[in-house]
Structure 1
C-alpha cells in the first residue's frame, strides 16, 4: 500500500490535535490568565493557572479553601475593557488559540477568588478580624502581607444560601469580592453554577510554578456541617476514583 507523504498527512494531524485541544478545554482543563492583584501573593498578575473543569461534571461542588474561576454573577467587573493586542494578526492568533484552550482568551470576563464559605455557612469579619465561618476563626496565612482579614470592609454575619458560595481575594486590600457586592442579587454570594472550575496549579511563568492546595485552616473540626460529596448515580462508578484523587490533591 502506498503511504501518504508527510505533507499530506500534516493537515490531518494538525486537525486531530486541534480537536483534542478543544475537547480538553471544554471538558477537562483550561488555562486562565491572572489580570489583577486581587489574589496576591498566591497568584501574581500575568500568572497562568490551569483549572480543573472535570470534577463538576460529576456533581462535585466548590469547597472552602478552593481557588475557583467563575463567571461574573452580574456587575462585578463593571464592563472593564478586555486586554487585547493592537496588532490585528496577534489579536486573531490569540482569539484562535484562546478558543481551543492553548492560551487564555483576551475576551475573558471571568474572576478568580478563594472560596471562604459554602451554602449553609454563616460567615463574618468584624473589626480587624479574623474571618469566622460558623463561629470558628480562620487562620489565613495566604493573606497578602500587611492586610487585615477584613481589609477595609468588615461584614456580616451573612448566611450563605444553598447552592451559592462566599468568595474573597487573598489580597484583601485590593479585591472587590463578595464583601463589596452585598447590595446586589445574591447578597454578594456567587451561584455554584457560575463556577467554571478549580485552579490547581500555577503553570506559567516557570519561576512561579506551584500547586494550589486547600490550606489546613479549612480542615479544622467543627468548621461547618459540610454537605457530603454525592455525584449523580449516572457515571458515578467511573467518576469516583478520579474525583477521589483530585480531592486528595487539594490537601
Structure 2
C-alpha cells in the first residue's frame, strides 16, 4: 500500500469511528435521557397550556428540587397512564401549609416560611374561595405537588387523606426543561455524526483508488534490436 493510500485508510477509520460515536451516542442519549410530552390540561397555565410541547430530562423523584416542574405517572389516582405535569412544592420532611394572608396576598408556606410563586395564574396561591386549607408533613421519599393554576388543578390537595396528598418519588418520570439547548445539541451531534460517516466513506473510496493505482503494473520498455 502506498503512503498516501495508507494515510487515507487510517483517516477513514478514525473519522468513521468518531462519526459513529457522535451519531449513536446522540441517539442513545435522546432515547434514554430525554422525553417529550404534550400538555393536555390547564392545570399548569400560564406556565404551560393545552397543546404546549414539553421536553423533559428523565429522572426520578430523588433528584428533583422544590420549584421544579415534573412529569409523573400516577394511574392509581388519575385513572390513566398518561403523564401529568405538576410543580414540586415540598419534598420529604417538609411541612407545607396554605395559606398566610388572603386573596393575591396569600402565600403557601414551606417549613413556616412563605414562598414566592411568580408563576401562579392570577397570583392566586390558594386557588380561591372554597378551596380547603391544608397543613401537611411530606413523608420521606415523597413529594407535595401543585398546579400553577390553583383554581383548576387536580393535585396533592385532592388527595390529602392519602399520606397528605403526596406522590411517591418513583412516580416521577422526568423534570421539565425550558431550554432547547440540550435537544439542539443532541440533534447537532447526530447530524455531525452522519456527516462524518459520509466523509469516512469518501475517504475509504479515495484510499481504495490510490491503492489500486499504486498496484498498477509498470510498463516494460521494449527491447529493440537494431541491425548491426
Q: CA deviation at 1:73?
A: 5.7
1:181 counterpart (159, 163, 182): 159
Q: What's the counterpart of residue 30 of structure 2?
A: 24
Mapping of 1:87-236 within 5 angstroms?
109-126=82-99, 128=103, 129-145=106-122, 148-152=124-128, 153-184=131-162, 186-201=163-178
Tell whether the 8 Å contact from 2:90 to 2:96 is kept in structure 1 after alignment. Answer: yes
Alignment partner of 2:135: what SS? Answer: strand
**Whole-Å separation in 1 of the counterparts to 2:28 and 2:76:** 27
Tell whether the 8 Å contact from 2:91 to 2:138 is kept in structure 1 after alignment. Answer: yes
Tell whether the 8 Å contact from 1:47 to 1:202 is kept in structure 2 after alignment. Answer: no
Mark the CA change 1:196 to 1:141 in structure 2 (over 3 Å): closer, same or farther: same
Structure 2 stretches lacking a partner, 5+ long: 1-22, 181-228
Q: CA RMSD in A?
A: 2.8
1:53 counterpart (55, 58, 62): 58
Tell whether the 8 Å contact from 1:73 to 1:191 is kept in structure 2 after alignment. Answer: no
2:65 counterpart (50, 55, 63): 63
**Whole-Å separation in 1 of the counterparts to 2:51 and 2:179:** 11
- Give the TM-score normalised by the residue count of structure 2: 0.60
**Whole-Å separation in 2 of the counterparts to 1:158 and 1:48:** 32
Tell whether the 8 Å contact from 2:137 to 2:164 is kept in structure 1 after alignment. Answer: no
Tell whether the 8 Å contact from 2:62 to 2:169 is kept in structure 1 after alignment. Answer: no
Tell whether the 8 Å contact from 1:73 to 1:190 is kept in structure 2 after alignment. Answer: no
Looking at secondary structure, tell me which structure has more helix per residue: 2
**Whole-Å separation in 2 of the counterparts to 1:37 and 1:162:** 29
**Whole-Å separation in 2 of the counterparts to 1:112 and 1:22:** 25
Q: CA deviation at 1:20?
A: 6.6
**Whole-Å separation in 2 of the counterparts to 1:187 and 1:22:** 38
Number of residues of Structure 1 aligned to a counterpart in Structure 2: 155
Structure 1 stretches lacking a partner, 5+ long: 1-16, 80-107, 204-251
Structure showing greater Rg: 2
Deviation per residue, 1:157-181 (Å, 9 max, x gap): 1000000000000011110100111
Q: What's the counterpart of residue 11 of structure 2?
A: none
